[in-house]
A = this chain, B = another copy of it.
């Protein structure tokens, strides 16, 4: 079985295995091809180079993820502030459930992207996501700051919190294989984070 799978498919499968085992840089194209039962030349019919092969695994899931984030934030932008407060408190579960579902639906890809991408153009993907989140939250918090006297956004904390959110996802996907359990965990984590949130990011101006 599986032997009549298309070559491209087989290459991607063995690439996943090799990248997972050795990381991008130490992964050997020779081995990937051998495992897929073809010669190196064949690989170059389907992919332009090593990185393209990696991209074939992680590219689409990553783009979809970005679009989900973008879509969500676009939505928030158009909300009145009052709704946003609710959204922050309650809506996280909704978004994070959706994200989580996407993450776990593409488990292998995100595993590679988040932990084995060093040496590829994706090695900055985590930071990019952090930045995406950060930009959105900056808008949000600065909006708040303007309405509360003597408060300002602390940029470091903003960045760190953005990082923590992403790290929470990474930690989850690398430590909990079951999606439904992961959703429960993430819910509790978000509650925790949101608790101390505002005090940390919004500081008194004399700081």
On A, residues with C-beta under 8 Å from B are 23, 25-26, 118-119, 156-157, 159-160, 163-164, 167-168, 171, 175-176, 185, 188-189, 192, 195-196, 199-200
Contact = CB atoms under 8 A, between A and B. Distances in A.
A contacts with B: majority SS:
helix
Contacts of A164: 164, 167
A127 to B, nearest CB: 10
Copies of this chain per assembly: 4
Given A192-B199, A192-B200, A118 B23 contact: yes
Given A23-B118, A163-B167, A196-B196, 12 more contacts: A25-B26, A25-B119, A118-B118, A156-B176, A157-B185, A163-B171, A164-B164, A164-B167, A167-B167, A192-B200, A195-B195, A195-B196
B189 A175 contact: no
